[in-house]
Amino acid sequence: MAFEGLAERLQGTLQKIKGKGKVSEADVKEMMREVRYALLEADVNLKVVKEFVKNVSDRAVGQDVMKSLTPGQQVVKIVKDELTELMGGEQSQISFSSRPPTVIMMVGLQGAGKTTTTGKLANILRKKYNKKPLLVAADIYRPAAVQQLQTIGKQLSLPVFALGTDISPVEIVKQAMEQAKEEHHDVVIIDTAGRLHIDETLMQELKDIRAIKEPDEVFLVVDAMTGQDAVNVANNFNDAIGITGVVLTKLDGDTRGGAALSIRSVTQKPIKFVGMGEKMDALEPFHPERMASRILGMGDMMSLIEKAQANVDEERAKELEEKFRTQSFTFDDFLEQIGQVKQMGPLDEILKMLPGAGKIKGLENAKVDEKQMDRVEAIIYSMTTQEKTTPEIINGPRKKRIAKGSGTSIQDINRLLKQFEDMKKMMKQMTNMQQKGKKKMKMPGLDSLFK
């Protein structure tokens, strides 16, 4: 899980100051020492850390905090605001050309994820923006690079422009632009070659491609796992050819976070997307505020809801919303949820998006494997209709019967009953939170699930 160490340390540190009715300068100093350490440990650029610490400190010992009724919480909010700012503040959108086709160039070092991201991005452009992209295979150097893009194109049913490897990338791109015009493609995404290190030939070639038609976006693709090196790479590419944004890949791995937190501040270029896996739907727009919220254990309800909305149909979501509200959620609904959760992705990732999830005992080690889910399903299938709707009636003899029927143990039944109760409680909390938050926060999307 990305950011794990950083999240843990920051949350631990903030926990100490959160409940304080009074926050002294010494408290802030103490806290910031730990924050500084946590950031450096996460491989955040030293200059960035210094500036961050200064900004938070200045605001945290300011008049507003001292006068506030909840200074501890105020400080936590400042940390969150500054983290958000550090990652760029607002979400950065794609710039489209007013005179199509929009040209997007993918650049970066070898193995960063350019080719994969080209496919993922085209997929998003088609799905969410209704665009008709053309993918261009301009990497003539790495063996099978052209085929790789063609395979991705086939998989997504998207056209790939390729001329083999005996022709220069500049010529390929020129001809691709012609074809895009003829076939009315409104976006052209150019997959360029990577190098092990930044070198003059690579840069010159990229400059030559750039010169054919000024791209609307030059996306630098960098591997988040490379930490501060990613920041250096970004700086070098930006100086040499000029980039417009960054795609941070492999954020699904256990990166410490240094790149995500430093890149924007060092290069002044926004992170536009993050890669969350190898599959073609594993690219997400980067939301600084949501990311800050996730790092600080405040959850990421927005992403969770969006994920849910992508998998749940509208009608059913409305029904569930009503059930959450009236607390009439049954084991049948639970069963259905399990099915949907299975579709949403790894459960431990999803649970981490819940506010305060980090504090639920044992959750960090929750490895809910398919087998366990199957067991839960078997137990529910062994319940009578009445048991499913009013689990309170499940007494000793009933438990015995269910255990026998599902090939599980009484302990398994007890555990599930407890989980079900906890889940109901959590839903109640979420519903309450939403109602309270309504006046203060604007959370579009959330409304449709929890009214």
Ligand X SMILES: Nc1nc2c(ncn2[C@@H]2O[C@H](COP(=O)(O)OP(=O)(O)OP(=O)(O)O)[C@@H](O)[C@H]2O)c(=O)[nH]1
Q: Measured from the CB atom, is 13 or 115 closer to ligand X?
A: 115
Q: Measured from the CB atom, is 114 or 287 closer to Mg ion?
A: 114
Separation CA 230–CA 275 (nearest Å)? 14
Interaction of residue 215 with ligand X, rule CB under 6 A: no
- CA atoms 304, 309, 311, 315: torsion sign: positive
Task: Supply the DSSP string of 31-82, one letter for each residue.
Answer: HHHHHHHHHHHTT--HHHHHHHHHHHHHHHTSHHHHHSS-HHHHHHHHHHHH
By 3-state DSSP, what share of the chain in percent is helix, strand and coil, each rounded to 5?
60, 10, 30
Q: Measured from the CB atom, is 150 or 311 closer to Mg ion?
A: 150
Interaction of residue 356 with ligand X, rule CB under 6 A: no
Separation CA 359–CA 239 (nearest Å)? 43
Minimum distance between the CB of residue 171 and Mg ion, rounded to whole angstroms? 19
Minimum distance between the CB of residue 168 and Mg ion, rounded to whole angstroms? 17
Stretch that binds ligand X, among 160-168, 272-280, 359-367, 390-398 (CB under 6 A): 272-280
Of residues 99-128, which lie at the interface with ligand X (CB under 6 A)?
Answer: 108, 110-116
Interaction of residue 115 with Mg ion, rule CB under 5 A: yes
Minimum distance between the CB of residue 187 and Mg ion, rounded to whole angstroms? 19
Separation CA 71–CA 237 (nearest Å)? 43
Q: Measured from the CB atom, is 194 or 355 closer to ligand X?
A: 194
Query: For residues 267 and 235, is the Cβ–Cβ distance under 8 A?
Result: yes
Minimum distance between the CB of residue 97 and Mg ion, rounded to whole angstroms? 24
Nearest-CB residue to Mg ion?
115
Interaction of residue 284 with ligand X, rule CB under 6 A: no
Stretch that binds ligand X, among 139-147, 162-170, 179-187, 328-336 (CB under 6 A): 139-147
Size of the site for Mg ion (CB under 5 A): 2
Separation CA 421–CA 401 (nearest Å)? 21
CA 61 to chain centre: 32
Of residues 322-351, which lie at the interface with ligand X (CB under 6 A)?
Answer: none
Minimum distance between the CB of residue 181 and ligand X, rounded to whole angstroms? 26
Candidates 36, 185, 210, 250: give the one binding ligand X (CB under 6 A). Answer: 250
Query: Smallest Cα–Cα separation from 271: which of 230, 301, 308, 312?
Result: 230
Separation CA 270–CA 252 (nearest Å)? 19
Of residues 217-246, which lie at the interface with ligand X (CB under 6 A)?
Answer: 221
Q: Is the peptide bond before 101 cis (omega within 30 degrees of 0)?
A: yes
Stretch that binds ligand X, among 61-69, 128-136, 276-284, 407-415 (CB under 6 A): 276-284
Interaction of residue 277 with ligand X, rule CB under 6 A: yes
Query: Smallest Cα–Cα separation from 207: which of 164, 163, 243, 248?
Result: 243
Minimum distance between the CB of residue 319 and ligand X, rounded to whole angstroms? 35
What are the residue ranges of helices labelled H in 282-354?
A: 288-295, 301-311, 314-326, 331-344, 347-351
Minimum distance between the CB of residue 251 and ligand X, rounded to whole angstroms? 6
Candidates 142, 323, 342, 451: give the one binding ligand X (CB under 6 A). Answer: 142
Minimum distance between the CB of residue 170 and ligand X, rounded to whole angstroms? 18
113 binds, among ligand X, Mg ion, none (CB under 5 to 8 A by kind): ligand X
Separation CA 297–CA 12 (nearest Å)? 10
C-alpha distances out from residue 360 to 270, 342, 392, Å: 33, 21, 24
Q: Measured from the CB atom, is 148 or 267 closer to ligand X?
A: 148
Separation CA 85–CA 74 (nearest Å)? 16
Question: Exposed, middle or buried: residue 21 (CB in 10 Å: 0-12, 13-18, 19+)?
Answer: exposed
158 binds, among Mg ion, ligand X, none (CB under 5 to 8 A by kind): none
Q: Measured from the CB atom, is 112 or 271 closer to Mg ion?
A: 112
Q: Measured from the CB atom, is 194 or 297 closer to ligand X?
A: 194
Minimum distance between the CB of residue 191 and Mg ion, rounded to whole angstroms? 6
What is the DSSP-derived secondary structure letter of residue 251? T
Q: Measured from the CB atom, is 115 or 249 closer to Mg ion?
A: 115
Minimum distance between the CB of residue 358 and ligand X, rounded to whole angstroms? 23
Q: What dihedral do alpha carbons 338, 344, 347, 349 form, nearest 10°?
A: -160
Footprint on this chain of ligand X (rule: CB under 6 A):
108, 110-116, 139, 142, 145, 194, 221, 249-250, 252-253, 275-278, 282
Footprint on this chain of Mg ion (rule: CB under 5 A):
114-115
